[in-house]
């Protein structure tokens, strides 16, 4: 694996397009999480003219059925790039870490690699997995979210990774941060006691972009087929049956995915006037600034 400084140098001289005025940078531990939790909101920003880039941390090489890890990694990379294209993202960049093994990756190593991307793209909006959510058993999302949150803070500070500045990667403060997670946590909307210093709950209507989000999720064929087969396996082992999965083929898998995506959007819309939504913890322009100073 290349060093942080090699990565910084490669990005600085690679000739990638310069950051634009309204850039959205998305950090995701795996191919599906950001789509399921934030795909509609990101698509809406793209539709309004933003340029989006996705940083996919792991290879998803364990999320398949009857495929080798190498073949799974190859397929999921291609499918994640297709999902990004459907959503409207400019690029999906895969960092190449092994899935379900992020606990062994040094925190500062991952943080500093993410600092490189933040300083290069200089986003106006950053999406990261919410490391504070509960009831999500994919721990890669926790480790990625922790590192991404610290990268957001550290990328703006001059004394973090000073050598990066030799490659033109100057400090950058991203004014808006969205913490995303699928709506499993029953406490996700709890009122906070110190709202000035805690990201606020934010619910976004995704009715206009739901179909695009659904199509993007359905393009993750390898992961979706694996999920369907494992669901059928669990049902069979307990003597139950889901008629939809009597034959696990593409139409059945797509229908199962649609049920899941619609269900998540309905849960997130609960208690609002929306029919389909996504929900976040949001640290915007007033985050950590007392209201008296904004008058």
Number of independent structural domains in the chain: 1
pLDDT of residue 231: 97
- 279, 186 Cβ separation under 8 angstroms: no
133's CB contacts (< 8 A; 6+ apart) are 181, 184, 185, 188
Q: Where does the pLDDT of residue 134 fall: very low under 50, low under 70, confident under 90, or very high at 90 and above?
A: confident
3-state secondary structure of 95: strand
Residue range 54-71: mean pLDDT, rounded: 98
Ranges assigned E (strand) in 170-289: 176-180, 200-205, 277-283
Phi, psi of 82 (to 5 degrees): -70, -40
Does any domain span residue 38?
yes
pLDDT > 50? residue 77: yes
pLDDT of residue 14: 45
pLDDT > 90? residue 79: yes
- 30, 61 Cβ separation under 8 angstroms: no
pLDDT of residue 233: 97
Q: Find residue 23's DSSP bridge partners.
A: 51
Does any domain span residue 2?
no
As a whole number of angstroms, the distance between CA 134 and CA 123 comes to 28
pLDDT of residue 200: 87
Q: What is the pLDDT of residues 193-218, one digit of tens each?
A: 455 567 889 999 999 999 999 999 99
Does any domain span residue 12?
no
Does any domain span residue 160?
yes
DSSP 292: G
Q: Which domain holds residue 203?
A: 19-294
Does any domain span residue 107?
yes
Residue range 270-284: mean pLDDT, rounded: 95
Q: What is the pLDDT of residues 90-119, one digit of tens each?
A: 999 999 999 999 999 999 999 999 999 999
Does any domain span residue 4?
no
As a whole number of angstroms, the distance between CA 274 and CA 219 comes to 26
pLDDT of residue 294: 67
pLDDT of residue 3: 60
Does any domain span residue 3?
no
- 63, 223 Cβ separation under 8 angstroms: yes
Neighbours of 97 (CB within 10 A): 22
- 140, 192 Cβ separation under 8 angstroms: no
Q: Where does the pLDDT of residue 7 fall: very low under 50, low under 70, confident under 90, or very high at 90 and above?
A: low
Q: How many CA atoms lie within 13 A of 158 on its CB side?
A: 0
Contacts 24+ apart (CB under 8 A), 12-17: 12/120, 12/167, 12/168, 12/169, 13/167, 16/120, 17/90
What is the maximum span of the chain, computed from C-alpha positions, in angstroms?
63
CA dihedral sign of residues 176, 179, 180, 185:
negative
pLDDT > 50? residue 58: yes
pLDDT > 60? residue 76: yes
In the predicted model, what is the mean pLDDT of the chain? 91
As a whole number of angstroms, the distance between CA 270 and CA 32 comes to 22
pLDDT of residue 258: 98
Does any domain span residue 127?
yes
Q: What is the pLDDT of residues 227-250, one digit of tens each?
A: 999 999 999 999 999 999 999 999
Q: What is the pTM of this model?
A: 0.91
As a whole number of angstroms, the distance between CA 258 and CA 151 comes to 34
Q: What is the CATH number of the domain that holds 30?
A: 3.40.50.10320
Phi, psi of 58 (to 5 degrees): -105, 170
pLDDT of residue 286: 78
pLDDT of residue 285: 79
């Amino acid at each position: 694996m290349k060093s942080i400084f090699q990565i910084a140098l490669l990005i600085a001289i690679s000739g990638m397009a310069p950051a634009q005025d309204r850039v959205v940078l998305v950090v995701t531990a795996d191919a599906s999480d950001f789509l399921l939790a934030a795909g509609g909101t990101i698509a809406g920003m793209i539709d309004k003219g933003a340029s989006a880039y996705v940083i996919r941390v792991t290879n998803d090489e364990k999320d398949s059925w009857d495929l080798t890890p190498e073949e799974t990694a190859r397929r999921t990379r291609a499918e994640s790039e297709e999902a990004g294209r459907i959503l409207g993202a400019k690029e999906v960049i895969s960092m190449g870490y092994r899935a379900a093994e992020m606990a062994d990756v040094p925190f500062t190593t991952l943080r500093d690699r993410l600092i490189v991307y933040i300083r290069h793209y200089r986003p106006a909006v950053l999406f990261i997995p919410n490391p504070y959510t509960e009831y999500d058993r994919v721990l890669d999302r926790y480790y990625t979210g922790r590192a991404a949150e610290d990268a957001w803070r550290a990328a703006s500070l001059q004394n973090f990774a000073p050598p990066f500045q030799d490659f033109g990667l100057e400090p950058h403060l991203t004014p808006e941060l969205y913490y995303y997670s699928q709506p499993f946590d029953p406490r996700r909307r709890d009122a906070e006691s110190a709202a000035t210093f805690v990201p606020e709950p934010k619910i976004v209507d995704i009715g206009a972009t739901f179909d695009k989000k659904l199509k993007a999720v359905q393009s993750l064929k390898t992961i979706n087929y694996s999920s369907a087969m494992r669901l059928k396996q669990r049902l069979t082992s307990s003597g139950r049956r889901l008629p939809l999965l009597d034959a696990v083929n593409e139409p059945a898998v797509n229908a199962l995915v649609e049920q899941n995506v619609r269900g998540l959007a309905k849960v997130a819309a609960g208690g609002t006037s929306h029919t389909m939504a996504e929900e976040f913890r949001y640290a915007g322009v007033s985050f950590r600034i007392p209201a008296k100073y904004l008058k």
